[in-house]
Chain A
Amino acid sequence: MTALPTSLSGKDWAIRTSGLRKSFGKTVALRGIDLTVPEGATYVLVGPNGAGKTTALNIILDLVRADGGQVEALGLDSRRDGPALRAQIGYVPEAQKWECNWMRVATLLAYHGQYFSSWDDEYAARLVKRLEVPLDRRYGKLSKGQARRVQVVLALAHRPPLLVLDEPTDGLDPLARETTLSVLAEHMAEYPTTLLISTHLVHETERLADHMGVLNAGGLRTQVPVSDLQEMLRRYHAQVPEGWSGAGVLDGSVVRRSRNGREIQWTVWGDESMVRASLTESGAAVQDVRALSLEEAAISLLSDEETSHVEA
């Protein structure tokens, strides 16, 4: 049986980190992660609050310095070439309120645009119209959703080759969320861009994602192409005999297991026919096998296999 993969194969990376470590006092935020985002990919970084997602993104932008490890993005060392790298990144931070709260939105857009030589006023105006951004209001007086949409305009209007979005739909109402994701999809279609998006609302990014990384408690549980995830991750529902001790051969491939009397429900990474065969061989009668949605997969991958709910 194959274990859950933690690295991607390939050679053209937009972002590659190796052994990234970071602690804030006694709190360990990242425990040596090797994140690899292929060029042109839409990589969704999933994890619960406090998993280390924001810290990882901040290190990529050199807003936070790692205690150990390295980051290379767009062929640049984030620490050494921070300004050159940030010039090529469209960034939506986790925080919606900024220090520029006193600026009117139009002033903020003009100010921000001065920092990016590829800033496109025309495109910015289109985005403003599409996202219904109020130009004449002070940024600090905007609602959470409006502030978020301004940040999206700031990130996209210079058409960067890399977008780093930290919870971009946080605070948006369903309609604004839909519009923002559509704008993002259109942007991706129009301009070749690599997208690294951090979220805990996986279902929203399902239509965009082609790679997924799962970060939990500062460790990278897995990172895989979504197509592999859909092909290899299955939930197996089976009846097992009294005193069944489990299919030992699957150890290392079982992502999540739960049991209710003689019924088991296992989420397993591996070739379906081989998993079926192993379970049958161990005495379990497989009753149902189904593929998981991205969100179900994320939830399974985020739950701790050892401590998951088990009823004897």
Chain B
Amino acid sequence: MSRPDPTSPPSWRTIAPTQLRMLAQLQKKDFVILGSIVAVLVALSIWGIAHASPDNGSNEPAMIFAILTIPLVIVAAFWPLGVWRKESPEQRGYFWSLPASRGPHTLLRVGAGWAILMIVCVAIMVVTWVLAEASQVRFGPLEISLARWYVPFATATLAYVLISFLAVLLDGPVRALVWTCVAVGGLRIVAEATQLTALGAPIDTVVTSLGMALAGPLGSAGPEVVLNGSALTQGFVLWGANYLIWIVLGLVALVLAAFRHQDAR
């Protein structure tokens, strides 16, 4: 068997598990915090199931999508901040000094973070499934197509990719996000006040599209979905189109950010 060349950089097959192990250790505290939040939510849900009326529309099966999608999007949006904790570009000297190509190395870290996020999502979904099973006792069988359980994973992935792009590129991703929201909100107010549709309409389109992509089919279809099955199908179509646009944009931006050479400081 040939020995590895002592002067060659490590293979990606070596680096990937190393990054995964490192992140699992780094995010131990995140798991504890998340576990506590999930525990509280479970307790609240159990209380809700025990006290809700079977006639209450808010407990319709389709609401499970909303129940799962939004919390997972929030968790996923914060996740990259944990993956790159104390490793903003200005503090990334050690990571960059390791013998690995910067772009793929960065993407591998992002990928490792995503893999752990998906495990967390699975854990949350299992908890939700248990709750849904429990709710059958009171509300009858839930009709959720198994094929549609990918939606929360997909929306969480989108949130993760978009925030990862900021975390990889910028020293202050949260600051950048807040300022972007302020700028967009400000422009929208200006457009409204001046009735400048040429400015307002594109902003609305972009914000609505991103909102649909992150909110999932239920959010895209609107509240009537709980009453009308065809609205849910329409919601899937709308969500699918917007999701595709944003995930492609997010991935391209992430790859460009990962491969952009930034000087160590």
Instruction: Identify the A interface with B (CB < 8 A).
Output: 24, 58, 61, 63-65, 82-88, 91, 93, 95, 98-103, 107, 111-112, 114-118, 158, 161
Contact = CB atoms under 8 A, between A and B. Distances in A.
A176 to B, nearest CB: 22
A102 B26 CA distance: 7
B9 A86 contact: yes
A107 B24 CA distance: 13
Contact of B6 (A65, A83, A118): A118
A65 B261 contact: yes
Interface in B1-37: 4-10, 14-15, 18, 22, 25-26
B93 interface: yes
A99 B7 contact: no
B118 interface: no
A102 B84 CA distance: 12
Contacts of A63: 93, 96-97, 263-264
A100 B23 CA distance: 11
Contact of A93 (B5, B22, B97): B97
Interface string B66-98: 000000000000000000011100011111111
Contacts of A114: 10, 14-15, 18
A110 B49 CA distance: 48
A98 B18 contact: no
A93 B9 CA distance: 20
Nearest to B263: A64
B264 A117 contact: no
17 contacts: A24-B263, A58-B263, A63-B96, A63-B97, A82-B102, A84-B8, A86-B99, A87-B7, A99-B92, A102-B85, A114-B15, A114-B18, A115-B9, A115-B99, A115-B100, A118-B6, A161-B7
Interface residues of B, number: 31
A158 to B, nearest CB: 8
Nearest to B104: A83
A116 B99 contact: yes
A86 B92 contact: no
Nearest to A158: B6
A84 B8 CA distance: 6
A87 B11 CA distance: 12
B101 interface: yes
Contact of B94 (A64, A65, A87, A99): A99
Contacts of B264: 58, 63-64
B98 A86 contact: yes
Nearest to A161: B7
A61 B261 CA distance: 13
Contacts of B99: 83-87, 115-116
Contacts of A117: 4-6, 8, 10
Contacts of A115: 9-10, 14-15, 18, 98-100
Interface centre among A58, A87, A102, A111 (most CB of B within 10 A): A87
Contacts of B4: 117
Given A64-B263, A117-B4, A98 B94 contact: yes
Given A91-B97, A117-B6, 19 more contacts: A58-B263, A82-B101, A83-B100, A85-B99, A86-B97, A86-B99, A87-B9, A87-B99, A98-B91, A98-B93, A99-B86, A107-B25, A114-B14, A114-B18, A115-B99, A115-B100, A117-B4, A117-B10, A118-B6
Contacts of A102: 26, 85-86
Nearest to A119: B6
A4 to B, nearest CB: 31
* Closest 5 pairs (CB-CB, A-B): A118-B6, A87-B99, A63-B264, A83-B9, A86-B99
Contact of B263 (A65, A87, A111, A112): A65
Contacts of A101: 86
Given A93-B93, A107-B25, A99 B9 contact: no
A84 B7 contact: yes
Contacts of A61: 97
Contacts of B263: 24, 58, 63-65
A116 B22 CA distance: 16
Contacts of B22: 111
Contacts of A87: 7-10, 99
Nearest to A95: B93
Contacts of B91: 98-99
Contacts of A95: 93
Contact of A83 (B18, B25, B26, B101): B101
Nearest to B17: A114
Interface centre among B85, B92, B263 (most CB of A within 10 A): B263
A121 B85 CA distance: 28
Given A64-B263, A117-B4, A100 B14 contact: no
Nearest to A160: B7
Nearest to B6: A118
Contacts of A158: 6
